[in-house]
Each structure stands twice: as C-alpha cells, then as structure tokens.
Copies of this chain bind each other. A is one copy, B any other.
C-alpha cells in the first residue's frame, strides 16, 4: 500500500467570491463561465470594482484534494504560495481538511504574492474566473519532491498549472517519478482556453502518460474535435479511462471499450465554482476504493452537487454521509 492514494499538483489560490450581474461581466470585458488569466494590475482594477466579497481557499486540484481528504483519503498537494497572509490561509485550509501539504514556498521577499482567483458569480449560478497566479505560476522542476511522487497511487495533474515557464518540466519530473514507482497519472483538462494555450503539450502527455482523463464537453471538443461523440471516441482510444462531465446532462465514462452514462443530481445551483473539481474528487474516491466506473461517476456527481449548492469550492457537508444516503456507502 502506498502512503498516498492521490497526490495533486496545481495552482495554490485563494478564491475571492462575489455575486455580480451579467452587466458587470460585460462592462469589464469578462468572459462568462471560463477562467481568464489576469495580471496584477488587472486583478487590482477588477477587485476595486467588485462588490463585498468572501474569501475561500480554492485552486482546482487543491479543491479536488480537499474533497478527497474530506472523504478520508490519504492525500497530498503540491502548489506554490508565498509566506504571506493568503498563503497561510491556503495552507491552513488544506491541512485542516486532512491533506498533507507540500509547500514549495516563495520567500516573503518575493515580488509576486500568493495567487488569487476573483470569482464573479452571476444570478444563474455560473462562475467567471479571473486568476492572478502570483507565485503559483513559478512552480519549477526543483520544487517537485520525487520521493513524494513515488509514494502516490495516483498523481493528479491540473491543466491550469501548465501556465508558467517551468511548469511543463515540473510536470514531466513528477510524472517520471510517479510512473517509475508504479503510480498512475490522472489529468484534468481544466478549461477550453487553457487547452488552446498548451495544446501540443497536452496532446503529448495524454498520448504518453495519462491513464485517466477528466474533462467536460467543451474541453474534450476543444482537444479532440468539435463532434462530441467523435471526441469521446478519440480520447478513449488514447486513454484507459475517460470521465467527461456534461453539466445538467450528467457524466460519461469510457473504459476498455465500455461506456456508462450517469445522470446529474438535481440541485439548485448557487455557485458552480468547483463542480468539476469535486466530480474528480468523488470519482477518484470511488476508484481508489475499488468501485466500478459507474459508481465512481455517481460519487463524482454527488460531490459536485454538494459543491454547487453553496458559495465556494470546498465541501461544507459530509460527503461520505451523502454517498451513503444514495446507497454508495
């Protein structure tokens, strides 16, 4: 048995969440429902215009790891913060959830601060994200502890974390260490625009190293072609397991020539932030506990339904109890 069931690598961010109108998005030129990278000045300008906000630790893979830790999984996370107040908040929340946190920490003298994501939640519950990566962008190969990677059953990689000069090399080092010790690799495509920025690197990694691919409809079509069915087929020809969410249409899982569809859990959407992240958490929890793909996807959908029922992307309810209540104990 390995020390960790899932080790995640991703951006270490604190979410700054605020309810805003559609008009606010239009006025500030914010793309709806996607993640856009912003620099420090743009972040400061947007923040000055935003209404009163709430801060909750975030980061896509970090949300997944937090969800897994809440479920009781043995997990660890690697992501870069600075030695500042937001960095302390991020580290606290992950550890308090029960995840080990490996902190390649930038010194207090570093120019960039801990990253943050300005999340505008419109009345329909959709979230539009504006990410100032800060020091999270500067994760480099030397920040990757190969010993930690070798102790992971699953390495979980966040597509968003591909931005940044040293990121591809850092991922390569992590993958080599994990696979070299018999670990498997999961990747989440994160976002259509993120795929456009790193298409070739994603394609190579998927072909060579990925055992489990998380994505949604927009992402798989961006990566594998506009026809959804053809894209699913193309992805599953390259990857052992494909888990593709499709909003209110639920999720599709493809593995070894088989395919399952699992309906979404009806939920009033307060804030869609973290839906995909918690789907991955629920799915991986099932996987590391030896559950069949369909049960994994049902757990993913249930965890996602919890996270979209409240503001923020860290679980508030007891996910294990939620699974049990749906016959997945």
Contacts and interface: CB of A to CB of B under 8 A. Distances in A.
From A85, A97, A312, residue with most partner B Cβ within 10 Å:
A85
A92 B86 CA distance: 15
Contacts of A96: 50-53
A93 interface: yes
Interface string A164-205: 000000000000000000000000000000000000000000
A183 to B, nearest CB: 27
A19 B47 CA distance: 28
A54 interface: yes
Nearest to A315: B52
Nearest to A94: B52
A145 interface: no
A93 B52 contact: yes
Interface in A49-69: 50-57, 66
Contacts of A97: 51-52
Contacts of A48: 92
Interface centre among A50, A53, A54, A93, by most B CB within 10 Å? A54
A94 B47 CA distance: 13
Contact of A85 (B52, B54, B85, B312): B85
Nearest to A95: B48
A47 B92 contact: yes
Contacts of A94: 52
Nearest to A93: B52
A113 interface: yes
Nearest to A54: B56
29 contacts: A19-B316, A47-B92, A50-B92, A50-B96, A51-B96, A51-B97, A52-B57, A52-B66, A52-B92, A52-B93, A52-B94, A52-B96, A52-B97, A53-B92, A53-B93, A53-B96, A54-B54, A54-B55, A54-B56, A54-B312, A55-B55, A55-B56, A55-B89, A84-B84, A84-B85, A85-B85, A85-B86, A85-B113, A85-B114
Interface of A: 19, 47-48, 50-57, 66, 84-86, 89, 92-94, 96-97, 113-114, 312, 314, 316
Q: Which 7 A-B pairs have the closest CB atoms?
A: A55-B55, A85-B85, A52-B93, A52-B96, A51-B96, A52-B97, A54-B56
